[in-house]
Amino acid sequence: MVFTIGIRREDKNRWERRVPLIPKHVKEFKEKYGIKTIIQPSRIRVYSEDEYIKAGAVVKEDLSNCPTIFAVKEIPIDFFEYGKTYIFFSHTVKGQNYNMPMLRKMIDLKCNLIDYEKIADKRGYRLIFFGRFAGIAGMVDTLWAFGQRLNSKNIDTSFNEIKQTIYYKNLDEIKEHFKKIGKKIQQNGLSDSLTPLIIGFAGYGNVSKGGQEILDILPEEEILPKEMEKIYDNPSNKCIYKVVFKEEDMVEPISSNDSFDLQDYYQYPEKYQSIFERYVPYLTILMNCIYWNTQYPRLVTKDFLKKNYTECLSLQVIGDISIDINGAIEFTEKATTPDNPVFVYNPLSDTIKDGYIDEGVVVMGIDNLPCELPRESSHAFSIALHTLVPEIVKADFTQDFDNCNLPPSIKKAVILYHGKLTPDYQYIDKYL
């Protein structure tokens, strides 16, 4: 039996050059499993059409013969066809208002929706993700913003030499450049005005690890949150201090009679309050890498920044990789793009201004960071995804949900089945 999958062209914006499945794996599908691939043409895709043709794929606009279609980002409403299976990042599991019309259309057409974000093992750890590359690009772009910010204040540092991720050829070039910058920091040290330079990571998952992967190329010393204040007594100017914040560092129970419990926090976040702002005065850069929705406490509020803002505030830049609008970082007022990557939030006037020159704190809020490393991020993503493709393609979607033969890791990521919300995602109905 011949199975056919489709790969949709990405067209959300001109920066989106990624693919869910690379030519190498398309070739494997055909030779090993008898799975034929049809891929839509694209002028910006990071892998060329010739690479896919050589791998045995057919390049064609029409995907009507493909019962199963893979993509990366959201799909336009007019693309969906009756009864088909779509696998992509739908950004619907939080009830995101801007994607509810898309979900309603899929319901009307009795489509099946599998979301990469929810494919996980039995412990709940995600199996398919771009998080590492979001962290890598986010760290590079944040340090670039930091360098530009300092330069605008006539502070000359090695950080001024850092480019945005999109202006490096690849990840190898980034790492080689950072090694050179690291040597300069060790040789010349940081100025007194930048010492101690403390960079905090809120969170410790894949995004955070990606950011740390870049920072660790520079001379750094990891310290605990409770050690931050003491560092100011005798800081070194030959290194950057790194702090990784876990949940117990960021929140505490509202009731003084309770102690912190991680599972209790996840189950009942309303019983907890943020204590993160006690650390903010010691930070130079904050990398926000945490999952957040409205039931969780914020990390940094507008009110806190207004009350504590002065021209000598240590905090210069926030790399908001999680990019929840008015979320964990309350003054993340908008998402940014690679060609307009940062804005300055002025806490005194509660306004933002594009760029890095103005009074306030710089926010880097690019909402699609992995697309800045399209080839590397696509390669890693496809490695994780391709082993699951045969199981998705050969599942029997004519059966009811309980008997469709999808493995548990994928089944828990099925948001719609025959156009109906599956049991784990019934809560989305209230947003529809």
Q: In the 8-state DSSP scheme, what is residue 30? A: I
Q: Where are the domains of the chain?
A: 3-129+374-431, 131-372
User: How many whole angstroms separate alpha carbon 110 and alpha carbon 102?
Assistant: 12
313: pLDDT strictly greater than 60: yes
CB 321 within 8 A of CB 138: yes
β-strands 361-364, 342-346: how paired? antiparallel
Q: What are phi and psi of 10, to 5 degrees?
A: -85, 130
Going by C-alpha positions, the residue among 118, 137, 138 that lies closest to residue 127 is 118
Band the pLDDT of 2: cuts 50, 70, 90.
confident
User: How many whole angstroms separate alpha carbon 174 and alpha carbon 179?
Assistant: 9
Q: What are phi and psi of 146, to 5 degrees?
A: -60, -45
Band the pLDDT of 312: cuts 50, 70, 90.
low
Name the CATH superfamily housing domain 131-372.
Answer: NAD(P)-binding Rossmann-like Domain (3.40.50.720)
Strand partners, 198: 241
Going by C-alpha positions, the residue among 47, 77, 182, 96 that lies closest to residue 428 is 96
Phi-psi region of 277 (alpha: psi -120 to 50; beta: other; left: phi over 0): alpha
Could you count the other beta carbons within 10 Å of the beta carbon of residue 248?
14
311: pLDDT strictly greater than 70: no
SS (H, E, C) 159-171: HHHCCCHHHCCCH
Q: What is the mean pLDDT of residues 328-356?
A: 97
Q: What is the mean pLDDT of residues 31-45?
A: 97
Q: Do domains 3-129+374-431 and 131-372 have the same CATH topology?
A: yes
Band the pLDDT of 256: cuts 50, 70, 90.
confident
pLDDT in tens, 267-291: 999 999 999 999 999 999 999 999 8
Planar angle of CA 151, 156, 158, nearest 5 degrees: 105
Q: Say what the pLDDT of residue 212 is.
A: 98
**CATH topology classification for 3-129+374-431:** Rossmann fold (3.40.50)
Percent of all residues in the chain with a pLDDT value above 70, rounded to a whole number: 99
Q: Which residues of 13-25 are buried (b: 16+ CB within 10 A; e: fewer)?
A: eebbbbbbbbbeb
Q: What is the mean pLDDT of residues 196-221?
A: 97
Q: Say what the pLDDT of residue 293 is.
A: 86
Residue-by-residue DSSP string for 259-279: ---HHHHHH-GGGEEE-GGGT
Q: Say what the pLDDT of residue 395 is.
A: 94
331: pLDDT strictly greater than 60: yes
Helix (H, G, I), strand (E, B) or coil at 241: strand
Q: In the 8-state DSSP scheme, what is residue 8? A: P
Q: What is the mean pLDDT of residues 245-267?
A: 94
Q: What is the mean pLDDT of residues 140-163?
A: 95
Q: Say what the pLDDT of residue 257 is.
A: 87
The residue type found at 388 is L
pLDDT in tens, 373-432: 999 999 999 999 999 999 999 999 999 999 999 999 999 999 999 999 999 999 999 999
Q: Say what the pLDDT of residue 309 is.
A: 87
104: pLDDT strictly greater than 80: yes
Q: Say what the pLDDT of residue 336 is.
A: 97
Q: Say what the pLDDT of residue 404 is.
A: 93
Residue-by-residue DSSP string for 319-337: EESS--TTSSBTT--S-BB
Q: Say what the pLDDT of residue 1 is.
A: 63
Q: What is the mean pLDDT of residues 330-341?
A: 96
Q: What are phi and psi of 363, to 5 degrees?
A: -120, 125
Containing H/E element for 394? none
Percent of all residues in the chain with a pLDDT value above 90, rounded to a whole number: 94
